[in-house]
Amino acid sequence: METVFSGIQPTGELHFGNYLGAIRNWVALQEKYRCFFCIVDYHAMTQNYDPAEMSRRTLDMATDLLSCGIDPDKSVLFVQSSVPEHAELCWILNTVTPFGELARMTQFKDKAERQEDNINVGLFDYPVLQAADILLYKAKLVPVGADQVQHLELAREICRKSTARWGQYFPEPQPLLSSTPKILGLDGQAKMSKSIGNTISLGEPDDVIRKKLATAATDPQRVRRKDPGNPDNCNLHSLHAFFSSQEQVAWVREGCASASIGCLDCKKVLADNVVSHLAPIQQKRQAFAASPGRVEEILREGGRKARAVATETLAEVRKLIGLWS
C-alpha cells in the first residue's frame, strides 16, 4: 500500500469548504492507501492565536474528522506536536532549502500582507515544515488543492536537494489532485474562511444552516424573481452538485435559466438536502461529545503509531547525514 500524508490546521470546527474540498476525499483515500492524517498545530502557531484555545480547537477538529468518517482502524489520525520529529526533520531540511525558493512562495506573501504585525520566521519556513511532514512518513502521495500546488512543488525540490547532498533516501512525493471545484463562501466572493465569517460549520443547528443558506449570495444578475439567472455564476449551484440528486441539479439549471423557479425555491431544496446529509455526521459528533476521553485516546494512539514511524526515519536520516549518535 502506498503512503498518503495530509494535514489540516486546528481551526476548531470543520466548515463546508474543508469538508467538500478535502475531508470527503480523505475518507475515500483511507480505503485504498496507508494514510497519515495530521492536525498541524505547529503550522497554526505561525498565525496569531490564543494559547488558551489551541487545545480545544485541536480536539474539536479531531471530533469533526472522526464524525465525518476518518476511521482510526484504517488511518493514523494524530496531532503534529505529539511527534516532535517533524520539527527536527524541518531543521535538517532547512539546510538544503534555498532561501530564494522560500521567498518566492505566494502564500507567504499573502499571509505576510494579512498579518503585518506578525511576519515571523515560522511563517517563512512553513513550506519546509510541510516538506518534513510528508517526507517523515516517506509519503508518495499528497492530496492537494490548487492553492497547495506550489508548496508541494517545493517539497519535491527539497527532496531532490537532499538526494543531491546526502544520497537517495526519501521518495519524491507526487500530488493527488482533487477534482473538487472551488467552493466559495456564502458571500459568493472569497474562499470559505472562518476569519471572513462566510462559512457554515458542520455542527451548526438545522435552523442556522437554513438561515445562512437563505441569505447566501446568488447570481448577481438575478435581481428579481422574473430575471433569468446563470447557475454557473451562482455558488449555491456548486453546492447543489454535492448535496442534491442529478434530477434536482437539472431542475435548478433549467428553472434558474428560465426563471421558472425563484432563488428561495432553489435554496429550500438545497437546505433540505444539506440538513439530511449532515444528520448522521452530527449524530456521531454528539456521541463523541458525550465521551470526550475517547477522542483524546484516539489521538494519543495515533501519535504513538506516527511516532514509531517518525523515530525510525529520523534514526536513518541522522546516520545518512553524518550526525553523531
Which residues are catalytically annotated? 111, 191, 194
* Shortest Å distance, C-beta 282 to ligand SF4: 24
Given candidates 96, 123, 135, 236, which one binds ligand SF4 under the rule CB under 6 A?
236
For the chain, the maximum distance between any two Cα atoms, rounded to a whole number of angstroms, is: 76
Our finding on whether 237 is near ligand SF4 (CB under 6 A) is yes
Tell whether residue 222 is a contact of ligand SF4 (CB under 6 A): yes
210 binds ligand SF4 (CB under 6 A): no
Residues 163-192 touching ligand SF4, rule: CB under 6 A, are none
> b/e per residue, 80-90, with b = 16+ CB within 10 A?
bbbbebbebbb
Q: Minimum distance from CB of 267 to ligand SF4 (Å)?
A: 6
| Residue 307 φ then ψ, to 5° | -70, -35
Task: Establish if 256 lies at the interface with ligand SF4 (CB under 6 A).
Answer: yes
Instruction: Assess 219 for contact with ligand SF4 (CB under 6 A).
Output: yes
Q: Which residue has the cell 539546510?
A: 95
Identify which of residues 42 and 251 has a Cβ nearer to ligand SF4 in the complex: 251
Cell readout for 245 is 440528486
Which C-beta is closer to ligand SF4: that of 236 or that of 278? 236
Label the pairing between strands 34-39 and 174-177: unpaired
- Give the other-Cβ count within 10 Å of 196's Cβ: 13
When asked if residue 252 is in the footprint of ligand SF4 (CB under 6 A), the reply is: yes
Residue 229 interacts with ligand SF4 (CB under 6 A)?
yes
Site for ligand SF4 in 27-46 (CB under 6 A): none
Q: How far is the CB of 44 from ligand SF4 (least distance, A)?
A: 34
Part of the chain binding ligand SF4 (CB under 6 A), chosen from 18-26, 98-106, 165-173, 259-267? 259-267
Non-local CB neighbours of 97 within 8 Å, separated by 6+ positions: 128, 131, 154, 158, 161
Residue with Cβ nearer ligand SF4 (131 or 252):
252
Q: Cell numbers at residue 4, please? A: 498518503
Question: CA nearest 64: which of 318, 285, 294, 311?
Answer: 285
Q: Is residue 271 part of the contact set for ligand SF4 (CB under 6 A)? A: no
Which position among 86, 151, 210, 267 is part of the footprint of ligand SF4 (CB under 6 A)? 267
Give contact residues for ligand SF4 (rule: CB under 6 A): 218-219, 222, 229, 231, 234, 236-237, 252, 256, 261, 263, 266-267
